[in-house]
Structure 1
Amino acid sequence: MAGSEKLRELVLDLAIQCESDPRFGAVKLNKLLFAIDVSAYLAWQRPITEAEYIALELGPVPRQLSALRAEMVQRGEAAVRLHSLFGVTNPQERLTALREPNLQVFTGPEMALIDAVIDSTAPYNGHELTEWSHPFIGWKVARKGDAIPYESALISPEPPTPSDIQRTQELIQEYGW
């Protein structure tokens, strides 16, 4: 199945699974999608949706999500509702599914990963998940609007340990780099 179709079905699945989460808005949706695809990449060397993520001020966002969301609204698959949260003056934008997602497009392991990411991020709001995404090296080095390579998930934001440096030096000597 094409990546954009998997992205569509995942967006609908997230909207349904997170419907009762008062913290689920546009920002949390973006971060959930990113966390799912990066987790899949780390597990299987391939993302679930094949979405291209770009660097924006609040963190990684699927490049095609805005157009996809507009198309989903136009086709009657989803609606965007404004939700006032805790008396905040800027209402939260919530995507609401108007049809059931086709979960048959996902494998069993993909569904298990999706559910695990949803469960692990349940207590967090969009702002907190944004803070989680900011140390991600791919986002940090990309310019606003640039694509973030999935491979950057393999790079730790932590400085190398002495044993990392020693192993690197051994590899340089062994392979003559």
Structure 2
Amino acid sequence: MKSPITGKEMLLRHEASKVAFRKEEFSIVSHYYECGDSGERFTDDRLDELSIVQVHNQYREKYGIPFPDEIRRIRERYGISASKMSEILGLGANSYRLYESGEVPSVAIGRLIMSIRNPETFIQQVSASACFLTAKEVAKLTLAAENLRAQPAQEAVFPSKLNGYRQPDLSKIAGIIAFFQGFLKSPLFKTKLNKLLFYTDFNTYKLTGYSTTGLEYRAIQFGPVPSQFQKMYVNLSETGQISIDEQYFGNGAYGDEINAKVAFDQTLFSPEELDVLEHVANRYAKLSTDDIVKLSHEETGWMDNADQKALINYRYAFELRQGIKPIS
């Protein structure tokens, strides 16, 4: 970004700061451009949005308010429109659509939305709304909820600062593997792939305030890795999205070769996520496994957590040595 004072390119800087939201203060990493000659600070819409997202995410996490993706998924489970869901829950006509788009609901409304994840609770809401629903609508929605009730309950994973405020998404993980394999025109080995996933997620968080995949990362001897990467790769293999082939390198050394079994589908990713994939591919993908491991050992997030083999807070994304720059 060029300085409106001198016309010269400005430096992008960041610092810890506090921002008020709903009568509370939250600690974030704020970003700004600094004019080298005048010392004046400037921001743009993208940097302002990044600050707002950080605040909203912390507020949602603190009070158990669902995130936009979860709000949308809850509605889609029942095959209902946003306007109809608003009607059933007694909200304003466009409220549910606004919550899916990022507006933060009140604590009470957030908990109401979370409660209808339970099909039984949703049936109760539909029954209470029967006065303005047709008999056909009541029957259809009740059947959809009953079908969900018959399915085994899935383990809930809540968005937090340790998974980049996303729920894990195997389809996106498989897509990322397909992207890097296509970029390199060769299969990937697990150790290197773990680092490419880390740099993808943490760069996306640096740019948007969200991760791409919803994975947690742990600092271990060979750098940051998805915290349950063995289970993750098995799940991807069992669902036919990748294959895992053990290769012998000699001298008692083995490695797992990962091959994507799905084509890369860019519609799964936002424009910002696609920008990050290109950045990570150009910066890291062609490095040798040893080189990318060494580079990951220079990241503050790994250094601060390696001794305890602890999970890495996504806030470390703002300390990446060669992270993606915000796109104005």
TM range (shorter): 0.7 to 0.9
Q: Is 1:72 aligned with 2:236?
A: yes
1:132 to 295, 303, 306: 295
Q: Please state how far the C-alpha of 1:84 moved relative to its aligned partner.
A: 5.2
User: CA–CA distance in 2 between the matches of 1:61 and 1:139?
Assistant: 10
Q: Give the number of the structure with larger relative contact order, counting CA–CA contacts within 8 Å between residues 6 or more apart.
A: 1
Contact 2:175 2:262 in 1 (8 A): no
How many pairs does the alignment contain?
Answer: 154
Q: For 1:8, which of 142, 158, 174 is the aligned residue?
A: 174
Question: Once the two structures are superposed, what CA deviation does each residue of 1:144-172 show, in whole Å capped at 9, x if it has no partner?
Answer: 44210011233478xxxxxxxxxxxxxxx
What is the aligned counterpart of 1:105 among 258, 268, 271?
268
Aligned match of 2:197 in 14, 23, 33?
33
In the TM superposition, residue 29 of structure 1 has moved relative to its aligned partner by 0.2
Structure 1 position 88, deviation (Å): 6.7
Match of 1:44 in 2: 208
Instruction: Supply the distance in 2 between the matched residues of 1:126 and 1:114 (Cα, whole angstroms).
Output: 18
Match for residue 174 of structure 1? none
Give the structure 2 partner of residue 115 of structure 1.
278
- Which residue of the partner structure matches residue 106 of structure 2? none
Conserved in 2, the CA contact under 8 Å of 1:25 and 1:94? Answer: yes
1:93-133: CA deviation from partner (whole Å, max 9, x where unpaired): 21011222443210122112202211222331111001101
Correspondence for 1:152: 316
Report the Cα distance in structure 1 between the residues aligned to 2:263 and 2:251, rounded to whole angstroms.
30
Between stretches 56-65 and 95-104, larger displacement belongs to: 95-104
Structure 2, unpaired ranges of 5+: 1-68, 70-166, 322-328
Structure 1 gap segments, 5+ residues each: 158-177
Between structure 1 and structure 2, the one with the greater Rg is 2
> 1:56 maps to what in 2?
220
Q: Which has the higher strand share?
A: 2
User: How many percent of aligned residue pairs carry the same amino acid?
Assistant: 22
User: What is the TM-score of this pair, normalised by structure 1?
Assistant: 0.74
Which whole-Å CA distance do the structure 1 matches of 2:320 and 2:243 have between them?
38
Inter-partner Cα distance in structure 2 for 1:113 and 1:156? 13
**Equivalence for 1:162:** none
| TM-score, length-scaled by structure 2 | 0.42
Superposition RMSD in Å: 2.5
Following the alignment from structure 1 to structure 2, what is the Cα–Cα distance between the partners of residues 144 and 12? 32
